[in-house]
Structure 1
Amino acid sequence: MDMAIYLRLSRENDGSVSLDTQRAACARWLATHGHDPADATEYVDAGVSGASPLEQRTGMRALMESRPDIVVTRKQDRYARSVTEFLRLVAWAEQCGTSLATADGNLDTSTPHGRMVANVLASLASWEREIISARITEGHATRRTQGRWGSGRPPYGYRITRRDGAAYLEVDDEQAQRIRTAVAKLTEDGTVATTARLTGLSEPQWRRLLKSPTLRGQRSHKGSLVLSADGVTPVQFADPILNAAEAKAVRERLLALATGTDRAPRRAAPLCAGMAHCYRCAGRLNGGTSDKGVALYKCKQGHVTMYAATLDERVSAEFLSTWGTFAEHRVSLEGGSDLSGQLAEVDEQLRRAVDMRLTAGPATLAILEEKQHELEAAYARLRAAHDPDVREMLVPTGRTLGEAWEDPAERPRLLADMGLSVTLHPKQRADRIVIHWGPDPADDALDAVLRDEFLGDADLVALTCLH
């Protein structure tokens, strides 16, 4: 008689269902029924779920191909935890003349009674699996509402800490500092791709992190923000890495980059990109190349063209001769209290409370009304303290504009700060390049005020176009 022992283990968790425990139980059953365990062939599926299809299990597939006369396993759930899969195994056994048995004595398909028990046990195994799954899901939901960390790797910027026998998240200072540095660069003039390098994340990972509520110490589950039991207040899993104003600035920057309203200049952009125009159509001169690959400035309508090196050298020389000895200043923002980010978050919670009141029952209506009053009071306090007005202060950097010009990466910014405007004329004109420094005509009034204010200080008079 051809005999087989089937062993299956989903994962190694304790000794009660280990492969050795299953093997010993099957050997005892064979010996009790007059068989020599040494004559049985073992088929093992380690690390395989009982709900997986029979054909996807290496050991079970080999067993079914060998068609033994009798198969024994420790308990019925070792065969399958799915009613469908177990009934398929019973049908296969009947077709092949194979008896299925379990070492605990609850199953023996060689008898009608055993076949009936097999069907009942299969249903119970499936029910048990569904109960376990529901219990696990409920446990995850409870941990989420309590602000506890469930499982898996923590999000970038945080690490796992244990207290009171449970896992929580706390800020990883080193990673958090990288995030703040990258966010500062992003909201200033950076892109997602360039700032991702500052964190060590890939661009897709960095973009997902920026779009998620994680950096505010919150989490989302299946696309929705995780809320506390009141259904209004977000659960705080950890201290936020970004404050509300910084998170709002990130959202606005991502929106600007996505819509193209504030894209950062490309690396290959010409020195005077956006500042050089055609004399005839007033259109901006696009960068391009000649047939020989030489960089050009050229009008989109084809009115004028010039080698980029020729125009850039002229602009460079005039910048240094006009501004090179002046002290460089940067604009520093002082004062103000921008609470727009916090106002937006409270407003979002207030909207959720109002929406929930529309469908709330009598038991929860009073709780939601109280929550709404609390949020309205918080919004009023924030609104009273909200004062976004700031003062722009010119702060010297300690170097001259000529010294700043030595850094090629700084040159486009310096030209823009000094209000560069270049007009390119046709070849028939003796001097084709006309350079103008200063603000737009619409800013003439402000320019006059600044010049009057700083009259007597040559450096500051010259730098009024930095406003």
Structure 2
Amino acid sequence: MVRGATKRAVIYARLSVQGDETSTSISRQEDDLRALAAREGWGVIRVLVDDGISGREARANATEAVAMLADGRADVLAVWKFDRFTRQGLGALAGLMDALESRPGTLFVALQDGLRSDSAAWRLVAGMLAEVARMESDNISLRIKSDRAVRLRAGLWGGGRVPYGYRPVEALGGKRLVQDAEEVAVVREIVERLLGGESPYNVAGDLTDRCVPAPNSAARKALIAGKDPSDLEIGAWGHSVIVRMVTGAPLLGRQLERGETVCGADGEPILVSDPVLTIEESRRLHAMFPWRDNVGTRKHLRKGGRLLSGVVRCHICGARFHIRTHKLRDAVDYHHPMPAREGGKCPGQTGVRAVDLEEAVIERFLSEVGSRPHVVEQVVESTEVEAALIDLEAALAAASAALLAADGLDAESAALARISALKAERTRIRSTPTVPRREFAPTGKTVAEEFDSAATMEDRQRLLTAWLAAIEPRPVGSGRGPRGSIATGRIFLVVKTGLDDDGNVLTESVPLAPQDVAENSVRD
């Protein structure tokens, strides 16, 4: 920054849950920080907002704010309160500290805490505030989990995304779910088509073509809120969306807690709504898609590896990501073995939530090759050698017959010479190594149908890796700073495109479509 020049300030604001509360609302935070900038003589060049995102999650705009300090696009990062910036504890300070130290004269300000990075006790106070914010977040999380557990045991809706086929209604002590006639009709159509043998891939494509609002689309969210969905995105149905929905607990009127069905003292499931599916239909659907059971949980991990085990790797050092479990949130990540954020040497992406990545990759895989005929490779022994031996045996039989019928010494000598030559040729052919021929035979199914009917995870992985060589998550921010959502298109697929003249596999790196991966899937 040029001495005497106006400092360029970036304002960062965050609210955990969208609402109209005035105490810490986004507009209140921005107004107060703009007033601070005016008093200090800073020029506000950008306002970055994360609305409705927890401070314990990686946030794309917080990442961008720190990156602007680090790369010289801004001189000041101003936040309303330190816990608005992060609730991730001391670990989240590393990127901010690095950015401030890399450019002397830059400044971080937490207005309500009276915290400035140019003060003598900056590091001490910042560390204390970071840990206090983390402890507050832990306490909030415990209260939320406790409240949710009480609601679940009372047969009330636990909250979160509204399951497809239902709408929330007020009830004593919370909310219950009631069936939505239009969505239930869609569910019944999907189930009947699947049980009739149709592929989820085809069903999803048809629903998208018919402009049926997808479960997590903006149009459906507006309908749930009682608003006009006109001109809003209807989203796209996908293979994973279909399978996850029909094998999930909500369509049976049930809820899950840490991957297990919520049951009463008698061991029977507690119903939060009227079921859309019968138990028999659910059993048949689970039998069709057994690989969906317990996906994304520690219970699933104990049964074996993951679909993308050995495929996810660092784009910088090439290290293969391993599986890491999270006991508290009952989830599984693909995790870098030596990330810089945890004392390692590689500045590459630390980790990514397994279930989000797997479902996004499946969608991309099936959209690319799902409609192609499925073929199996067969090794066929050479028929040319067999044919040659058959011809030789026939010739030997004819030569032997000629020997028996020979009249005179010359005829016998000629027949014997013929037999000797044929035997020598037979010996040569038998001793010649045969080269098996590889052929590809169609199975009568598409790749999508074969994927759905695969009996084991290994079978599905073989189908997937015939197309996919590797997956490379890449950091959103720079260096060791905080990272944001992988929905920004920072996941790249290394796909197989063919063979060169020497038989080596040719590959191409392509971005995974951003909308295919859930927000905030990058994990610390």
Q: TM-score range by the shorter chain?
A: 0.3 to 0.5
Q: TM-score, normalised by structure 1?
A: 0.42
Q: TM-score, normalised by structure 2?
A: 0.38
Max radius of gyration: which structure?
1
> Which protein is richer in helix relative to its size?
1
Taking CA–CA contacts closer than 8 Å with sequence separation of 6 or more, which of the two structures ends up with the larger relative contact order?
2
